[in-house]
Amino acid sequence: MGCVSTKLVPESPPVTGQVVKTVYAPGVDYGGRQAPKSGKHHHHHHGAANQQQHARIEGKGQAGAAGRQKDYVQSDPPSRTTKKVARYKAKFDPRVTAKYDIKALIGRGSFSRVVRVEHRITKQPYAIKMVDRIRGKEVCESELNVLRRVRHPNIIQLIEVFESRDKLYMVMELATGGELFDRIIAKGSFTERDATTVLYMVLDGVRYLHSLGIAHRDLKPENLLYYHPGHDSKILITDFGLSAFHKSGDTYMSTTCGTPEYIAPEILLRKPYTCQVDMWAVGVITYILLSGTMPFDDENRTRLYRLILKSKFSYAGEV
């Protein structure tokens, strides 16, 4: 997730009914009893890993994986993996570990860690995103405000939420198929048929969000996950840290945010904009799927923005 220099200030959510409430508030265990007090957990920083510079698609084999969250862990020696899991278990609220068994670290961001877990009773796998409530407050609130209210086959589903004084734990469905970005890197480009299949699912999810007055504002291949590794897997829209709700009677937004290569011209011009900026991002994704390259690409940020504002690109389709 990338955000331009302007600080993100999430818009206020509507007062519609929630799908998922905070199930376990601070100080209450998962059985409804008063939870025992525990010492403050120390959160280790790893820099702005989630505010990465994105790799150029043409670099295919290099993929720029260094800064991006992955939904799998590179193989470590068993001893290191065991120690790593134990270290993260120690950081989790005991109410969470009483219900879920932590299996592996699968992603990390500037203010968050994502782990693969297993429900201790049902053995169902899930992902838990642990967010620093102090340092990541704005992004955390934006994402939670959306996920609590949406339910769609092509949007990552929030299962339940745990809260402590300094941490927020979001239990979500687990996507194991990897990022759309990685499949583009592996395939080079998609056929029109395969691209259409992906885009239909993405557009159906975006249509649903827009019908609720929600703008994602950071659509890109890295935020589109395959539910499972199979060729017939559905696509899930994820990462709502930059999302926004329309206020009642106000369809315009003004926050300058997004990932540079996917930002719509009106955002760069600092003009009021609507949910349609998501459609610009879908257009960029479509170009990438079909060509394997970026429509607007320059390592210099200023020149990149000039290319976007000119909106000049060329594409030769299948023959």
Note the pLDDT tens digit of each residue in 146-166: 999 999 999 999 999 999 888
pLDDT at residue number 49? 37
* CATH for 252: 1.10.510.10
pLDDT one-digit tens code per residue, 120-141 = 999 999 999 999 988 888 888 8
Q: How many domains, the chain?
A: 2
Give 104's contacts (C-beta < 8 A, 6+ positions apart).
Answer: 73, 81, 85, 115, 116
**Per-residue CA distances from 10 to 49, 140, 162, 207, 301 (Å):** 21, 10, 21, 21, 25
In the structure encoding, which two tokens stand for residue 293, read together? 């390259």
Whether 135 and 40 map to the same domain: the answer is yes
Range scoring the smallest mean pLDDT among 32-36, 66-70, 120-124, 130-134? 66-70
Same domain, 26 and 164: yes
The answer to whether residues 26 and 168 belong to one domain is yes
- How far is Cα 184 from Cα 163, in angstroms, rounded to an integer? 37
Same-domain pairing of 303 and 244: yes
- Say if residue 184 is in the same domain as residue 286: yes
Residue 24 has pLDDT above 70, yes or no: no
Instruction: Write the CATH number for 109.
Output: 3.30.200.20
| Nearest by Cα to 310 from 298, 296, 299 | 296
Range of the domain at 305: 180-310
Asked if 57 and 100 sit in the same domain, the reply is: yes
Question: Do 191 and 130 sit in the same domain of this protein?
Answer: no
Q: Is 218 a residue of the active site?
A: yes
Any domain includes 16: no
In whole numbers, what is the pLDDT of the chain averaged over residues?
A: 79
37 is in an annotated binding site: no
Judge whether 7 lies within some domain: no
Residues 118 and 231 in one domain: no
Helix (H) or strand (E) holding 115: strand 112-119
- Do 134 and 57 have their domain in common? yes
What percent of the chain shows pLDDT beyond 90?
56
Catalytic residue, from 218, 250, 278, 297: name it: 218
| 155 and 185 share one domain | no
Judge whether 266 lies within some domain: yes
Which of 131, 150, 173 lies at the terminal end of a domain, its last residue?
173
Q: Is residue 15 part of a domain?
A: no
**Same-domain status, 207 and 279:** yes
Task: Please give the structure tokens belonging to residue 126.
Answer: 């899930």
For the cut 60, the answer to whether the pLDDT of residue 301 exceeds it is: yes
Q: 194 lies in a domain?
A: yes
Instruction: Flag whether 13 is in a domain.
Output: no
Dihedrals phi, psi of 95, to nearest 5 degrees = -65, -30
**3-state secondary structure (DSSP) of residue 233:** coil
Among the candidates 173, 190, 222, a domain finishes at 173
Least confident of 23-37, 57-71, 272-286: 57-71
From the list 212, 111, 215, the residue with the least C-alpha distance to 170 is: 111
Q: Is residue 221 part of a domain?
A: yes
Q: What is the DSSP secondary-structure string of 254-270? A: ----S-GGG--HHHHTT
Question: Is 3 domain-assigned?
Answer: no
Q: Which of 173, 205, 236 is the last residue of a domain?
A: 173
238 — alpha (psi -120 to 50), left (phi > 0) or beta? beta
Nearest to 185 by CA among 67, 61, 285, 282: 61
d(CA 52, CA 314): 27
pTM, two decimals, is 0.75
Residue 141 CA to residue 108 CA, distance in Å, equals 18
Q: Are residues 219 and 288 in the same domain?
A: yes
Contact between 180 and 235 under an 8 Å Cβ cutoff? The reply is yes
